[in-house]
Amino acid sequence: MINGGIYTTIVYKKDMRSGITYAYDSKSHWDKEKQQSRSTQHLIGRVDPATGEIVPTDGRNRTAKAKQPVKPNQDFSHKYYGATYLLTQLAVKTGLAQDLQACFGNLTDMILSIAEY
């Protein structure tokens, strides 16, 4: 369609990452200074693969995020035991403390302490 020297078409582009096809309103006009065609594209929506219809969207998936339920009354607790306790428990649960005990005997606590420091 020609509208005052502006050409308007619908352009379909497929997003290679997601495989979704999007429809854009493309408006082209002639730039006299640069002697080139210039175009601007505005997102109309995504193309439904089953029906081929264009479903309006703003391209930022805002409707999916808005529909997620909000749970404001959840209770959360945070407990801090310290880095030394965490590293000691990791050494015990992974078996590192037992392996060090088997290899180094009484030096196990000293080696873990140096590693934690």
- Residues 57, 12 within the same domain: yes
Per-residue pLDDT of 64-85, as tens digits, reads 555 556 566 667 677 788 888 8
Res 55: pLDDT: 86
1 pLDDT higher than 50:
no
- Residues 51, 89 within the same domain: no
Q: In whole angstroms, what is the distance from residue 63 CA to residue 57 CA? A: 8
Q: Evaluate whether residue 87 is within a structural domain.
A: yes
Tell me which DSSP letter residue 92 carries: H
Name the domain count of the chain: 2
Res 95: pLDDT: 92
Q: Evaluate whether residue 76 is within a structural domain.
A: no
Q: In whole angstroms, what is the distance from residue 38 CA to residue 30 CA? A: 6
4 pLDDT higher than 80:
no
- Residues 10, 48 within the same domain: yes
Domain with 92, as residue range(s), is 83-116
- Residues 94, 47 within the same domain: no
Res 99: pLDDT: 92
- Residues 57, 7 within the same domain: yes
Amino acid at 35: Q
Per-residue pLDDT of 11-64, as tens digits, reads 899 988 988 899 998 898 888 899 998 888 888 888 988 888 888 887 676 655
Q: Evaluate whether residue 41 is within a structural domain.
A: yes
With a CB cutoff of 8 Å and minimum separation 6, the contacts of 22 are: 12, 13, 14, 15, 43, 44, 45, 46, 47, 59
- Residues 17, 47 within the same domain: yes
Res 31: pLDDT: 87
Q: In whole angstroms, what is the distance from residue 35 CA to residue 51 CA? A: 40
Q: Cα Rg for the chain, rounded, in angstroms?
A: 31
